[in-house]
Amino acid sequence: MEELQHFSDTMWFDFLLRLAVNIVSTLILIRFVYYPRNSRVKYLFTFFLLGLMIFLIASILDRVSLDIGFAFGLFAIFGIIRYRSPSIDLKEMTYLFLVIGMSIINALVVFNISDWFGLVVANSIILLSAYIMENYVPRKHIIKKALVFSPSNYAVLSSTKDLLDEVRRNTGIDVLKVEISKINKTKNEVAVWIYFIQSNDSNNNELPVEKVKQPENLLWESTSTAEY
pLDDT of res. 204: 46
**pLDDT greater at residue 8 or residue 168:** 168
Give how far Cα 153 sits from Cα of 65, 157, 158, Å: 75, 8, 10
**pLDDT greater at residue 188 or residue 5:** 188
Percent above pLDDT 90 for the chain: 14
Contacts of 119 (CB under 8 A, 6+ apart): 18, 21, 105, 106, 109, 111
pLDDT of res. 71: 56
**pLDDT greater at residue 6 or residue 129:** 129
Give how far Cα 25 sits from Cα of 17, 18, 31, 94, 123, Å: 12, 10, 10, 16, 7
Pairing state of beta strands 175-184 and 189-199? Answer: antiparallel
The model's confidence at residue 127, banded by pLDDT at 50, 70 and 90, is very high
pTM above 0.75, yes or no: no
Spatial distance between the Cα atoms of 99 and 80, rounded to a whole number of angstroms:
22
- Residue 143 and residue 223 in contact, taking contact as beta carbons nearer than 8 Å: yes
Give the model confidence (pLDDT) of 107-126 as tens digits. 877 656 556 777 888 899 99
Does residue 34 register a pLDDT over 90? yes
